[in-house]
């Protein structure tokens, strides 16, 4: 059966449970007692451009599909000093782009199309101790929503995949150092893992919408940030990776009628971003 070309809608999905977590994080940041009235909240806005590569694989390790291309992001961060050198931070990020899709149909026919990827997330960050000689340690609690909208083609129907996850993580920031004269730099490393992950898939009428628990996300980010001395501007280079095993299979239905012997699952997935960042402190 051929499908007419169809573009996905522009709505963006954020699961209610993830949205409630974001509201809680914002309230916790706003109500936390500051270290002193004359210690202001530090705000940082960052724009970035990434090259993203997403790969889905079979259980044997063969590539099922690859999505790649440039992707823009915007990040806003606020850090509020607390008593005894502690600090509380709130970070929000948004991104999106149309990526090139290179894969195949279920019958093995090569397929090229476009995938629209969009994502939004927020993290509540807590530094439990004052900065030390080894740097700073942070604990993070976050939510992340991703959407992949694969455009239909004359030989294959499209797919609309929406993911919402709750994440726990740790972050390390090095002490400042001077790579060259009149420049300051930091190195950061951050690791996060999902403690809850839900996937919603819309098959554009081929099957009924399907909802199921997705596999655990594991994420690692390494970045180098540098700024001229006494300047609010900051440049950075970042590498990030995501690893996610295949999910469990779930049954599907069509028109409300279960399809015996037919299941779907999300294949093993990995993603790599190489990012150039440009930001300013306020």
Among 39, 51, 121, 124, CA closest to 83: 39
Contact 122, 77 (CB under 8 A): no
Give the count of beta carbons closer than 10 Å to the beta carbon of residue 266.
Answer: 21
Nearest Cα residue to 265 out of 117, 65, 58, 13: 58
pLDDT of residue 34: 52
Per-residue pLDDT, 237: 98
pLDDT by position in tens, the chain (length 282): 323 334 444 454 455 555 555 555 565 665 566 544 556 899 999 999 999 999 999 999 999 999 999 999 999 999 999 999 999 999 999 999 999 999 987 677 899 999 999 999 999 999 999 999 999 999 999 999 999 999 998 888 889 999 999 999 999 999 999 999 999 999 999 999 999 999 999 998 889 999 999 999 999 999 999 999 999 999 999 999 999 999 999 999 999 999 998 999 999 999 999 999 999 999
Report the DSSP beta bridge partners of residue 188.
Answer: 173, 223
pTM, 2 dp = 0.87
Please tell me whether residue 107 adopts helix, strand or coil conformation: coil
Contact 30, 67 (CB under 8 A): no
| C-alpha to C-alpha distance for 253 and 266, rounded to whole angstroms | 17
Q: How far is CA 53 from CA 6, 56, 139, 156, 244, in A?
A: 24, 10, 28, 22, 14
Q: What pLDDT is recorded for position 5?
A: 35
């Amino acid at each position: 059966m051929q499908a007419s070309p169809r573009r996905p809608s522009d709505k963006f999905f954020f699961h209610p449970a993830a949205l409630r977590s974001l509201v809680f994080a914002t309230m916790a940041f706003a109500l936390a007692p500051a270290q002193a009235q004359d210690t202001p909240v530090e705000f940082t806005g960052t724009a970035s451009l990434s090259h993203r590569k997403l790969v889905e694989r079979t259980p044997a390790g063969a590539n099922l599909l690859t999505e790649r291309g440039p992707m823009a992001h915007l990040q806003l961060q606020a850090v509020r000093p607390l008593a005894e050198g502690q600090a509380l931070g709130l970070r929000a990020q948004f991104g999106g782009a149309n990526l090139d899709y290179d894969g195949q149909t279920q019958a093995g026919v090569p397929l090229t199309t476009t995938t629209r990827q969009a994502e939004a997330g927020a993290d509540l960050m807590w530094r439990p101790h004052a900065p030390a000689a080894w740097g700073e340690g942070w604990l993070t609690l976050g939510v992340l929503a991703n959407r992949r909208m694969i455009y239909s083609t004359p030989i294959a129907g499209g797919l609309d995949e929406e993911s919402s996850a709750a994440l726990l993580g740790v972050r390390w920031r090095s002490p400042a150092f001077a790579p060259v004269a009149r420049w300051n730099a930091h190195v950061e490393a951050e690791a996060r893992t999902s403690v809850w992950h839900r996937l919603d898939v819309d098959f554009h009428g081929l099957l009924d919408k399907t909802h199921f628990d997705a596999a655990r996300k594991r994420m690692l980010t390494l970045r180098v940030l540098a700024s001229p001395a006494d300047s609010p501007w900051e440049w950075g280079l970042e590498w990030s990776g995501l690893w996610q095993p295949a999910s469990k299979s779930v049954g599907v239905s069509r028109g409300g009628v279960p399809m015996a012997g037919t299941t779907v699952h999300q294949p093993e997935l990995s993603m790599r971003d190489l990012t150039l960042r440009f930001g300013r402190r306020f």
